Every structure is written in structure tokens, then in C-alpha cells.
Amino acid sequence: MSKRHVTGENKMPQITKITSQKQKGRYNIFIDEQFAFGVTESVLIKFRLAKGLEIDSSLQRDIQKEDDNAKAYQLALNYLSHQLRTEKELTQYLRDHEITPEGIETSLTKLRELHYLDDQDYADSYVRTVINTSDKGPKVVRQKLIQKGVSANHIDQALTLYTDEEQVTVGLATAQKLAKKYRHSSFFEQQQKIKQGLMQKGFGGDNLSRIIDELALEEDSDSEADALAALGEKKWRRYRLLEPRERRMKMQQALYRKGFNIDAINRFIDDQEVSDDTE
């Protein structure tokens, strides 16, 4: 009676069937005719899983842990296949896919060893791309790389690629676009807008001054008069029905804030008042 009891309860679970999943490279493992878990091909090979293999609970945990790591690594490879990523970006991606901290660290370690994940390479590539295709200065580049989790040392090293000459070249092209954008403003406002725009793009210091100097904007009296007339007429329509003294004050304030010369402003107002009186 005792022997029959022992024989019936001490039978080791064993693999009774292995089938392919629809997902290429993955397999279903059946233990004692019941589905137990799925594994990648690499795990299948590593543990030499085959029909008839006996599996206790400890081995099953090891297999599933290895499979979790394998899935994490494959997920990471797929993510990296589209474009370069930082360690921070990849870590967050794996977390979003509910990969365990151990699975994340195992994948990161392997990818670093294979040089598939390298924040210095990422930062260098980012800076080269900015130089060739963007209008961003070094300050904005630094901020973008910080947001992506790149260390200060890696950023400093990468920004050595963005030489003063490169900054002036990129900045000058940006300044020319800004000059065109604000060509209908007063000369003073145009200068201010260009400088503000360059600073917002991340240019500063001596290189900002060099960019402004090389832009070499020159005031054109005809363009200035046209800009004053265009804005002045718009403001005149707005304040036209006010009492003359208040209207003049409002016009002076509005146009002076835009950088126009006060004498030119007064001449414009005088002409408008004469024009209104003759209508």
C-alpha cells in the first residue's frame, strides 16, 4: 500500500509536446499534456528542451526567466532597428512594455557590449544631424540631449563637433530666414526679432554677435516708410474715432513700441489728420 502511494505521487513532470506558435521563432511547451509556457527558439536550444525532458518547478522558473530576458532583448532590438536611441529612451520603452528591471538591465548590458547602445554615439550623431539639417544652436542642442538622458560629459564631448565656424554658418542661415520673416517690421524691431529668434534657437555669446555682424543688415528708408505706413494705417483705423489728442498719444505709443522714429511717426499722424480733414 505504501509503495503504490509513493510511485503515484513522485512522478516528475515532463515535456510531452512542443509546437510552433504563429509568431515566428516561438514555441509552445506542454507538460504532462497541458500547455505550460511559451519560449523563444534561443531558450529552446539553450535548455535543450525536447519531448520526454523532465522539468521540476525550479528548472521551469529558470526557463521562464530566461525567456523573459530573451523577449526583452528582442523587443529592444526591434526598437533600435528604426533609429538610434539613448539608454533612457530604451529603458522607458521596455518599462512601458512591462519588462522587469532585471530583464531591462540584462538587455542594456548585452546591447552595450555589442555597441548597439551607446549614448556617446547617439550624442555625436545628434549634433552632426543638427549641423547638417537643423537651425538649432548649441544651447538648445544641449537641452534636447539632457531631456533624452544623455550625461553632461557625453554632451560636452559631442558639442566639440559643433565648432564656432559651424555655429556661425548655421546661425547665419537662420538669421537670414528671420530677416525675411520680419522684413515688414521697423528696422529696429527687425533687428530685435532676429536677435531674440537666434537666442531662442540656442545661439549666444560671441558667436551670436558674429552672426549679427555677418548678417550686415542695413536700414532702407523706403522699406522703413512702407512698414510705418502699413502699420500706421492699421492703428489709425483702430483709434480714428478717439478725441484728436488721445488718438495722437495712442498712435505714438503703438508705433514707437514697434521701433519707429518719433519724428516719422508724427509726420505720419499729421498726414493722416490732413487727409481726414479733406474727406
Contact predicate 27/39, CB 8 Å: yes
> Residue 54 in 3-state DSSP?
strand
pLDDT digits (tens, 9 = 90+) for 86-124: 999 999 999 999 999 999 999 999 999 999 999 999 999
User: Of how many residues is the chain composed?
Assistant: 279
Residue 196's Cβ-count burial label (10 Å; 0-12, 13-18, 19+) is exposed
Distance CA 5, CA 24 (A): 43
C-alpha cell at position 255: 508705433
CATH number of 164-215: 1.10.10.10
Strand ranges (DSSP E) for the chain? 15-20, 26-31, 34-40
CA gap 189, 21 in Å, rounded: 67
pLDDT higher than 90, residue 24: no
For 133-151, b where at least 16 C-beta lie within 10 A, e where not — what string?
ebbbbbbbbbebbeebbbe
CATH topology of domain 119-159: Arc Repressor Mutant, subunit A (1.10.10)
Longest dimension (CA), the chain: 126
Nearest to 142 by CA among 117, 161, 115: 161
Amino acid at 93: Y
Per DSSP, what are the bridge partners of residue 31? 15, 34
How many whole angstroms separate alpha carbon 181 and alpha carbon 101? 50
| Angle, helix 138-147 to helix 152-159, in steps of 10 degrees | 150
Q: Which residue has the cell 494705417?
A: 233
- With cut-offs at 50, 70 and 90, classify the pLDDT of residue 9: low
Q: Where do the structural domains in the chain lie, given as residue ranges?
A: 7-82+102-113, 119-159, 164-215, 221-278
**Residue 34: other Cβ atoms inside 10 A:** 9
Tell me what pLDDT residue 1 has: 38
**Domain at 7-82+102-113, CATH from 1.10.10.10, 3.30.930.10, 3.40.50.1370, 3.30.9.10:** 1.10.10.10
Q: Looking at 43-52, 74-83, 177-186, 221-230, which range is the least confident one? A: 221-230
| Greater model confidence, 127 or 259 | 127
Same CATH fold assignment for domains 7-82+102-113 and 119-159: yes
Residue 7's pLDDT is 45
For residue 5, pLDDT beyond 70 = no
Cell 525567456 belongs to which residue? 67
- What totals of helices (H) and strands (E) does the chain contain, helices first? 14, 3
pLDDT digits (tens, 9 = 90+) for 234-247: 989 899 889 989 99
Phi and psi angles of residue 34, each rounded to the nearest 5 degrees, phi first: -115, 140
Q: What is the mean pLDDT of the chain?
A: 90
